[in-house]
Amino acid sequence: MRAPLKPLDEALADLLAQAVPLLGVERVDTFDADGRVLREGATSPLQVPPADNSSMDGYAVRVADLADLAGPAGTELPVSQRIPAGSAAQPLAAGTAARIFTGAPVPAGADAIVMQEDCEALQGGERVRINAMPAAGQWIRRAGEDITRGAQVLSAGTRLGPAALGLAASIGLAQLAVSRRPRVALFSTGDELVMPGEVAPEQLPPGAIYNSNRFFLRAMLRRLGCEVTDLGIVPDRRDATIDALQGAAASHDLILTSGGVSVGEEDHIKPAVEALGELRLWQIAMKPGKPFAYGRIPGARVAAHFMGLPGNPVSSFVTFSLLVRPFLLALQGAADVAPRAMAATAAFDWPRADKRREFLRVRWNAEGRLERFGNQSSGVLTSAAWGDGVVDNPAGQTIARGDVVRFISFADLLS
């Protein structure tokens, strides 16, 4: 009797338990750290901003000097100094104003900034008329309001993006300690596969198809910061499959294959992995994507991880997004790896409940609801290019228009 299919959440938990972070830390230029995973937390040696500064172009004043501000005439004050950003400020003399610019330090004694739109320069800028009464502290950014000295601004396990890089730069970090890139060997199986450019569309032999999986898998791996060795298309022979797996295991952290993981006579991946190492996971209770495999293959020093994806392009795309991506992030020590879901409203009916958990390709419509792609076949890659994400639909669940569903965005899964 065949064992029941592994539920997706259990399969992901099993995979993540195997994803011990890779040994080796690299120090890279902060300019070049986008997408990398931080391995050492970043602590600030200073406060940001380092001193009180103005958030507006205008005039620094003492609020007490404007106590008599009333009526259309406003209050006139002499301008005692001009403070551009990057310059030093002198203490503000009582009864005067200082011309100040955004980012410039607030002079000692000043307790508010009046924006220039509420002021009128007089006598060539030597005097100013203040036409609006400021509140104490108005338009002043306080020292340390962003970052305090000694605060940890980025924690180990953070996947670095543009804002995080700017934050690191704001505390003076020219380099960051990040995980090394995972080394991934990628190959496809299937004698029916040909590469674009090798055969013109009108000359495709009967039964031949272009290898689309190779293109999107390479792109997804690179977006995750991997060093990719593309081993091309391996013939549908067990000896060729064993040779490819054995060679890849010698120098890679992960071997990723597409196709050949089902149960047909020409599906050689499963027996080849079992001949070389061990297969720990095979077949997931999800649709599309049931024929997913995980195992280990001995390498030169340590065993390489193996992941076999289905050959159907949407199945391959979805299993990579939901299983391979979290695994690769965990290998790099990332703290946040699970796909994020949000509640959304369905603008479609799905009356055919499946015994497996389903991932339906959808996109947002003009009313902010989710519409479904018409053909949900695992071979229709158009649905993934058309869609904004997937609805994560539990096993046995139908959907009626207006129901609240779980939506997972491709923007998150492909980042």
Summarised one tens digit per residue, pLDDT across range 294-316 is 999 998 788 999 999 999 999 99
Task: Name which residue leads in pLDDT, 27 or 268.
Answer: 27
d(CA 116, CA 128): 10
Instruction: pLDDT band for 288, please (50, 70, 90 cuts).
Output: very high
> Minimum mean pLDDT among 124-133, 259-268, 336-345: which range?
259-268
d(CA 141, CA 66): 21
Q: Find the DSSP H helices in 251-400.
A: 269-276, 313-319, 325-331, 382-386
Backbone φ, ψ for residue 102 (5° rounding)? -55, 130
Asked if residue 264 has pLDDT above 60, the reply is no
Please state the pTM of the whole predicted model. Answer: 0.89
Give the pLDDT of residue 117: 96
Percent of the chain with pLDDT over 70: 96
> Minimum mean pLDDT among 84-93, 163-172, 257-266: which range?
257-266
d(CA 293, CA 286): 13
Instruction: pLDDT band for 268, please (50, 70, 90 cuts).
Output: confident
Closest CA to 81 of 52, 54, 55, 61: 61
d(CA 281, CA 264): 18
Give the pLDDT of residue 260: 75
Instruction: pLDDT band for 72, please (50, 70, 90 cuts).
Output: low
Q: What is the chain's mean pLDDT, rounded?
A: 94
Give the pLDDT of residue 190: 84
Give the pLDDT of residue 46: 96
Instruction: pLDDT band for 70, please (50, 70, 90 cuts).
Output: low
Q: What value does the mean pLDDT take over residues 64-72?
A: 71
Q: Which two tokens stand for residue 253?
A: 């952290």
d(CA 335, CA 139): 37
Q: Which two tokens stand for residue 156?
A: 């180990």
d(CA 379, CA 389): 17
Q: Which two tokens stand for residue 97?
A: 């104003």
Asked if residue 197 has pLDDT above 70, the reply is yes
d(CA 373, CA 380): 10
Task: Name which residue leads in pLDDT, 59 or 268.
Answer: 59
